[in-house]
Structure 1
Amino acid sequence: MLTKFFRLLSNLTRSQNKLALLVRADLKMSKGKTAAQCSHASILCYQRSQKINARALESWCTWGQPKIVLKVDSLEEILRIRDEANKVNLVAEIVKDAGRTQLEPGTATVLGIGPDHGEKIDKLVQHLKLL
């Protein structure tokens, strides 16, 4: 009985809506800078989702706004995954730094994907490692 419960819980967790944040590890941003850039990505995705995917956004908000933070190795990888996300109609927003502190203006730092169905996002990011 308990095993059945955990299997159901696992399936619910995989299927619930989430937001993925893909951080460029090659930039070697400080922890604070990384947190700020992830915050920017979250807000960009939230704002975009209000316009094009309000139902997924509402579900995500209802269930505690689950997020996963992953690392990518390059700008090219972020652009490739963004293009794949766009092909399957996922919100995909890239943060470009203002250049006031550690990075050059316009540097792409984080890609936010979602919030949307977890399995849909996982298809794009399952190969990535946690930050």
Structure 2
Amino acid sequence: MDFSYKMVIAVRWDLRLSAGKMAAQVAHAAVNCALAAKKKTPEWFDRWYSEGQRKVVVKVPNLEELFELKVSAEDLRLTTSLIVDAGMTEIPPNTVTCLGIGPGPNDVVDRVTGHLKLV
């Protein structure tokens, strides 16, 4: 199946999160982005949802680059969700862990995240 829409979650690689912690943070970003996009860009959300909700997880080296992605995504009118951890387990409270982007058309999302490596 060809996918025309996707969501990308960018994870801070400098935090060295455990697999379980990373999965939870990525899930937070995906849920938040989906709910926000359903209101903000319902046509994109509906198309993404009907295609099977493609999600891609990529890594960014640090917080600064995560914020740069956020600005770039919002400049293109993509939905974003910045995830800040409560600090109950492996990392200090208020640590920014990841950024959800989209869902949106592949070509638009790729302008922001296409250069990043997969997790």
Distance in structure 1 (CA, Å) of the matches to 2:70 and 2:16: 21
- Relative to total residues, which structure has the larger helix share, 1 or 2? 1
Matched with 2:62 is 74
Structure 1 position 126, deviation (Å):
1.2
Structure 1 position 127, deviation (Å):
1.1
Structure 1 position 69, deviation (Å):
0.6
| Paired AA for residue 97 in structure 1 | D
- Structure number with larger C-alpha Rg: 1
Matched position secondary structure for 2:58: strand
Unmatched segments (≥5 aa) in structure 1? 1-8
Matched with 2:99 is 111
Q: Deviations over 1:21-62 (max 9, x none)?
A: 101010000000000000000011011112111111111110
| Paired AA for residue 67 in structure 2 | L
Matched with 1:26 is 14
Segments ≥4 residues shifted beyond 4 Å: none
Unmatched segments (≥5 aa) in structure 2? none
| Paired AA for residue 37 in structure 1 | Q
Structure 1 position 106, deviation (Å):
1.0
The two structures have a TM-score, normalised by structure 2, of 0.96
Pairwise CA RMSD of aligned residues? 1.0
1:101 to 81, 89, 94: 89
Distance in structure 2 (CA, Å) of the matches to 1:88 and 1:55: 16
Matched position secondary structure for 2:89: coil
Structure 1 position 104, deviation (Å):
1.0
Aligned-residue sequence identity (percent) comes to: 37
Matched with 1:54 is 42
The two structures have a TM-score, normalised by structure 1, of 0.88
Distance in structure 2 (CA, Å) of the matches to 1:47 and 1:126: 23
